[in-house]
Amino acid sequence: MLLVSEPVLGDEEKAALAAVIESGWVTMGDRVREFEQAFARLHEAEDSVAVGSCTAALHLILHALGIGPGDEVLVPSLTFVATANSVLYVGARPVFVDIGSADVPLMSLDDAESKCTSRTKAIILVHFAGYLAHRDAWQSFARRKGLLLIEDAAHAPGLPEVGSYGEAAAFSFYGNKNMTTAEGGAIIARSRTLRETIRQARAHGMTSGARQRLTSRRPDYDVTILGFNYRMDELRAALGLVQLKKLPEWNDSRRRLSATYRELIAELCPSVMVPFEAPWPSTHHLLPIVLPPATSRQRIIDRLRKRGVQTTVHYPPVHRLTFYRDLYPELALPRTEDFARRELTLPLHPKMSTLDVDKVVDALAAALAADYPMGAVA
C-alpha cells in the first residue's frame, strides 16, 4: 500500500536515540536547547521554544497573550480540531471563518471582516497543506482591527517567512509531518518577553528546570505563573536534530513530486482540480485534490485502495464535528463544506518517486473513468 504519509527514519535517528539513552539524561536538557536554537536558525528567528505538541504550542501562545473568557478568536473550520480546541482551553470562543474558494482553501479575509466584533482579540491563520497565507494582507487586516495574529504552522516548517506574520507561530512534529519527533512541537515568537513567558509556562510555571538545578547545584525553585506540563524530552529533541538537517532536502523533494502530480493530473484527470496555482510558497505537506461535483468520493477511495493507493481527507470541517455542531447548531460555511465534501488527499512524502506519482495518477484516472467513461466532467 502506498501510504498518504510516511516518516523517514534510519540509522542516524537510531544512533541519536541510543546516545540519549547512554547519556542517562532523558528529560528536558541540553539537546532540547540545541534543537530550539537550530530550529530558530532555520527560520531566521532569534529563538524558539520546544514543546510536547503543536496543540500545546497553540495553547501556550494564547495563554501567554492573555486571551481568555469573553474573548473571541477567528479560526478556520478547514483545519485539524486542535486549532479550535486551543481557543476553548483558555476559555475564549472560536469564531469559524469560511475559506476563500476551493482553489485557494485558506481563510477568507472578507468573511473574517464580517465576523469581527468588539470581543474579537486574535486570529489563528492556518497554512493549510503547507501553502502560506498572504502575509501582507493579514498583517494589514490585523493592524486595522487591532488583533493579535497567530500562525498555526503545523504544515509549514522550514520556510524562513513562517513565524514572521504576527505574535507567534506553532509548529508540529507529529509522525505524519514534514519532519517528525513522533510527538512534539515548537513555538517561534518575535517578542523575547513572550517567549520567556511561554518557556516558563511549559514547565508548570517553575523558575528553573531540573537540568538548571543540577548545573547550578541549587535545588530550590519558585512558581510565579500558572503553567502546564508541555515539555519536550531529550529523546524527541535528538530525533528532531537529525530530522531538521534533512528537512530542506525533503521539502524540495515534496515540491518536485507536487509539480509532477500537477502535470499528470492536468493531462490525465482534467476534471480534477489541484488547489493553489503554482508557484505558491509552500512546504508541500499535503497533495489535496478536488473531485468533480457529481463524483462519489467513497467509490474513488475504494477503487484507489484496491490498486494499492491509500487516500484520506483533510479535513472534516470542525464546525460539523458533533462536539462543535452542538455548540454552533446554526452555523453554515458553504465554501468550506463544499470543499470538504469533494477534497481527497493523495500520497505525498519523500520516500516516493516519480514512478509512484505515475501509479497514483493512473489509478485516479482509472477510478474516475469507471464513472465517466467519456472522459472529462464539467
Catalytic residue among 177, 245, 246, 351: 177
Amino acid present at 111: D
Contact 258, 277 (CB under 8 A): no
Neighbours of 55 (CB within 10 A): 23
Contact 237, 185 (CB under 8 A): no
**Residue matched to cell numbers 480546541:** 85
Report the chain's C-alpha Rg in angstroms: 22
Beta-ladder partners of 182: 174
258-261 long-range Cβ contacts below 8 angstroms, 24+ apart: 258/282, 258/284, 258/287, 258/348, 260/354, 260/357, 261/287, 261/346, 261/348, 261/357, 261/360, 261/361
Contact 155, 129 (CB under 8 A): yes
Cell numbers at 153, concatenated: 504552522
**CA-CA distance, 232 to 376, in Å (whole number)?**
50
Please confirm, yes or no, whether 177 is among the known catalytic residues. yes
H or E stretch covering 297: helix 297-306
Residues tagged active-site? 177
